[in-house]
């Protein structure tokens, strides 16, 4: 009888131990890979239209190579609405990017 109980206890511990190891989820380490990174380092970071490179501008929705070159050629901007008022990009493109761009104060 004692031998049967010992076997049951050993079997129970084995099942519990293997279950914990099987379903263990790591809580540290790098985030999972999600594909190729975009030129922007942080997706929530605003892009300064007065200093951004052509590649950084092309990350914005609706901005292709032609629009990025026009944005760069139209610098400097006092505010981001000048993208529309100067005719650099059409209103429908501006509506897509207005929350993603900024005009920062020049460093002194």
Q: Taking the mean position of all CA atoms in its chain, how far away is CA 28?
A: 19
**pLDDT confidence of residue 67:** 97
Measured in degrees and rounded to the nearest 5, phi and psi for residue 102 equal -150, 160
Q: Can you tell me the distance from the alpha carbon of 87 to that of 49, in angstroms, rounded to the nearest whole number?
A: 15
Q: What does the pLDDT look like over 49-75, one tens digit per residue?
A: 999 999 999 999 999 999 999 999 999
Residue ranges per structural domain of the chain: 48-102
Low-confidence ranges of the chain (pLDDT < 50): 33, 35-41
**pLDDT confidence of residue 71:** 97
Pick among 3.40.50.1220, 1.10.1040.10, 1.10.150.320, 3.40.50.1950: CATH of 48-102: 1.10.150.320
**pLDDT confidence of residue 52:** 97
* DSSP 8-state symbol, 89: S
pTM over 0.85: no
Who contacts 79 (Cβ-Cβ below 8 Å, separation ≥6)?
A: 103
Closest by Cα among 50, 44, 94 to 72: 50
């Amino acid at each position: 009888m004692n031998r049967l109980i010992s076997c049951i206890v050993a079997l129970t511990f084995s099942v519990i131990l293997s279950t914990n190891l099987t379903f263990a989820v790591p809580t540290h380490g790098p985030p999972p890979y999600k594909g190729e990174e975009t030129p922007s380092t942080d997706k929530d970071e605003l892009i300064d239209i007065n200093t951004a490179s052509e590649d950084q501008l092309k990350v914005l929705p609706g901005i292709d190579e032609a629009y990025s070159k026009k944005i760069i050629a139209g610098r400097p901007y006092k505010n981001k609405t000048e993208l529309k008022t100067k005719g650099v990009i059409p209103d429908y493109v501006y509506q897509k990017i207005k929350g993603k761009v900024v005009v920062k104060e020049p460093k002194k």
